[in-house]
Structure 1
Amino acid sequence: MSQHEYIWSLNDLQRVPKNGRKVFTTFSCGGGSTMGYKLAGYDVIGNVEIDPQMMAIYRANHNPRFPFLMPIQQFKTIPDSDLPSELFDLDILDGSPPCSVFSTAGKREEKWGGEFHFREGQAKQRLDDLFFDYLDVVEKLRPKVAVAENVKGMILGNAKGYVKLVIERFNEIGYDVQLFILNAATMGVPQKRERVFFVARRRDLCLPKLVLNFNERPILYSEFRSGRGRPLDRGGKTYQRWLKRRPIDRDFGDIGQREEGKDSNFNTILIKDHKVANTLASNSWFVRYDEPYFISEQDIIRMQTFPQDYDFLDADVQYVCGMSVPPVMMKRIAQQIDAQWFSKLQ
């Protein structure tokens, strides 16, 4: 493995000592969480994924023993007798239910209760129900531990009522749950990415509360910067705005507000060598402050702590990375769950 933990390859997983713990993951997307568990020594035995393209990527890189290409609503209705017995002896059931309806960007409350295509080509779903579908699978499979990731917006404002219902459902099915707001920048990931993690332990195991405190050194953009991405179009508005940037500007929305009196293009972010990168999202763009270029795909892969040799097939690299939990972030959590809980059960 590289001297930098966030620069690694899939081959490195062969040298990770195994801890004997089994994980099954739902909403697996490109496999970010899966790689985090593997980096921590877990065996990820299968996945549920609705998107054929994401499942193809997952299969190509992880070769799961028990893959289920279907909506989670369909998976949870499969008779127990038709499922592999290993799924009823899990250490962790993982899941990151799609969370765009809780994002603080836009008028999120207007989306609650509606049905949407999370992505073109997928089935239309009520996105704010997906967490409860995940909880139905927790109740069905009864893992020792359940881990679910979501956006920070889920615990802000009116969404707090939703979280209360999630906690009540965990309690109802026999789990004690803790919520953690974690910043990837404190966990060895080179980006400021705040996420909420629900970590639930099965009550009959009588496990203590989990303690998660991370305080690793921030990783600046200059430390992993590589190559160049696409140049800005010299005849385009983005380039004209870039020419008017100032050191205080965080994104092109700041420039537009100052120069044109309108706050647009806020998801095109100025990235600076002496700063930690902002959250990598599937719909954001990073432009270098010191030259009119987007960042490189190599930068995106490193920023998300994906392996250097990951096969993205024909998918957009940033989409896959932006939709995933950074592997190193999940590795840190999984290591603590093993050290504080599973090692005590032996």
Structure 2
Amino acid sequence: MGYKLAGYDVLGNVEIDPQMMALYKRNQNPRFSFQIPIQEFKEIPDDELPAELFDLDILDGSPPCSVFSIAGKREKKWGKEHHFREGQAKQKLDDLFFDFLDVVEKLRPRVVVAENVRGMIIGLAKGYVALVKRRFEQLGYRVQLFLLNSATMGVPQKRERIFFIAHRKDLQLPKLVLQFHERPVLYKEVRSGRGRPLDPNTLTYKRWLNRRPRDDSFGDITKRINGKVSNFNSILVKDDRVPNTIASNSCFIRYDEPYYISDMDIIRIQTFPRDYDFMGADVQYVCGMSVPPLMMKGIASAIYDQWLSIA
């Protein structure tokens, strides 16, 4: 959606998840879709693929990144097979970035964009980033790494993500400059309706009653009351703040009333279109696993202005 907002045509996609593929087809209507693991896609003979997929202006990918998230015991997950999502085949998630780079080698796009979590540039994961950069170089691409916050790009959300952005060396393009200074968009500007009410008989409700103006999450409440942090992924959403990252596994509860935020809040915070057809899928999951379209629009527009318009 972000690329379309920036004026691009989206030709196709590769997707392993049947539900996500159905959503993509319903809302994006791509010309070429492959509902297969990327490991299978990269083995398709070149002469069996549409000619339009070679020498693309941009090949974009977001290899699943949960093993690099700073939440949880991430290092213990490296090198092991996991179900990224229920119903999918087990895969080594930390290998998927290199499977994506194999597709780069196969299709030889002019520009490559790959998004991932901030955790990739923290601690031991920095070694993984070095390997990714080296692979880009071996493939004949000059790569830059950007840490961007969507709150500076017109998105009402403090979502930090890293972007590997590379171009083929034969294009001899200048360094890309990404600088965004949009004003912060506060929660009260997108707030709409109500989500579920908190159950007065639950511990969550009792903790909510003990909130203080300085508290940003239920972890702050439990630390003050119990002396240790728990329930940290339950976020207090305040009218005069930019909302936190919409994550698929977090709870977002309004500070000023005992209600979860609404689905329309989530859609607006993620800058999805109001008429997006979720086809019964969980709104928070779909939005939480996505790059905000306005964030991607800013990046895609800068790539066109600084690179593709002169290449």
Please give the secondary structure, in 2, of the residue aligned with 1:157.
coil
Please give the secondary structure, in 1, of the residue aligned with 2:10.
strand
- Among 261, 276, 286, the alignment partner of 1:295 is 261
State how far apart, in whole Å, the 2-side matches of 1:222 and 1:167 are.
Answer: 41
Question: Could you tell me which residue of structure 1 aligns to residue 17 of structure 2?
Answer: 51
The count of residues paired between Structure 1 and Structure 2 equals: 311
Q: List alignment gaps of at least 5 residues for structure 2.
A: none
Q: Indicate yes or no: 2:221 matched with 1:255.
A: yes
| Identity over aligned pairs, percent | 74
Please give the secondary structure, in 1, of the residue aligned with 2:235.
strand
Question: Could you tell me which residue of structure 2 aligns to residue 176 of structure 1?
Answer: 142
Specify the code of the residue in structure 2 equivalent to 1:150.
Answer: N
Question: Could you tell me which residue of structure 2 aligns to residue 131 of structure 1?
Answer: 97
Question: Could you tell me which residue of structure 2 aligns to residue 304 of structure 1?
Answer: 270
Tell me the alpha carbon deviations over residues 108-138 of structure 1, each in whole angstroms, 9 at most, x when there is no partner.
Answer: 1111101000000001000000000000000
Question: Could you tell me which residue of structure 2 aligns to residue 17 of structure 1?
Answer: none
- Shift of residue 183 of structure 1? 0.3
State how far apart, in whole Å, the 2-side matches of 1:284 and 1:149 are.
Answer: 21
- Shift of residue 177 of structure 1? 0.1
Specify the code of the residue in structure 2 equivalent to 1:273.
Answer: D
- Among 62, 65, 68, the alignment partner of 1:99 is 65
- Among 106, 110, 127, the alignment partner of 2:76 is 110
Tell me the alpha carbon deviations over residues 177-236 of structure 1, each in whole angstroms, 9 at most, x when there is no partner.
Answer: 000000000000000000000000000011111000011100010111110000001100
Tell me the alpha carbon deviations over residues 6-57 of structure 1, each in whole angstroms, 9 at most, x when there is no partner.
Answer: xxxxxxxxxxxxxxxxxxxxxxxxxxxxx00000000000000000000001
- Shift of residue 264 of structure 1? 1.3
State how far apart, in whole Å, the 1-side matches of 2:31 and 2:255 are.
Answer: 45
Q: List alignment gaps of at least 5 residues for structure 1.
A: 1-34
Correspondence 1:314-333 to 2 at 5 A: 314-333=280-299
Question: Could you tell me which residue of structure 2 aligns to residue 187 of structure 1?
Answer: 153
State how far apart, in whole Å, the 2-side matches of 1:73 and 1:264 are.
Answer: 39
State how far apart, in whole Å, the 2-side matches of 1:238 and 1:104 are.
Answer: 24
Please give the secondary structure, in 1, of the residue aligned with 2:109.
coil
Specify the code of the residue in structure 2 equivalent to 1:122.
Answer: Q
Please give the secondary structure, in 1, of the residue aligned with 2:197.
coil
Correspondence 1:204-283 to 2 at 5 A: 204-283=170-249
Structure number with greater CO (CA < 8 Å, separation at least 6) is 1
Tell me the alpha carbon deviations over residues 275-320 of structure 1, each in whole angstroms, 9 at most, x when there is no partner.
Answer: 1100001111110000000001110000000000000002000000
State how far apart, in whole Å, the 1-side matches of 2:121 and 2:43 are.
Answer: 29
Question: Could you tell me which residue of structure 1 aligns to residue 122 of structure 2?
Answer: 156
Specify the code of the residue in structure 1 equivalent to 2:286.
Answer: V
Tell me the alpha carbon deviations over residues 62-90 of structure 1, each in whole angstroms, 9 at most, x when there is no partner.
Answer: 11110000111110011101100000131
- Among 28, 34, 38, the alignment partner of 1:68 is 34
State how far apart, in whole Å, the 2-side matches of 1:214 and 1:284 are.
Answer: 27
State how far apart, in whole Å, the 1-side matches of 2:187 and 2:9 are.
Answer: 32
Question: Could you tell me which residue of structure 1 aligns to residue 56 of structure 2?
Answer: 90
TM-score after normalising by structure 2? 0.99
Specify the code of the residue in structure 2 equivalent to 1:163.
Answer: V
- Shift of residue 262 of structure 1? 3.0
State how far apart, in whole Å, the 2-side matches of 1:335 and 1:63 are.
Answer: 22
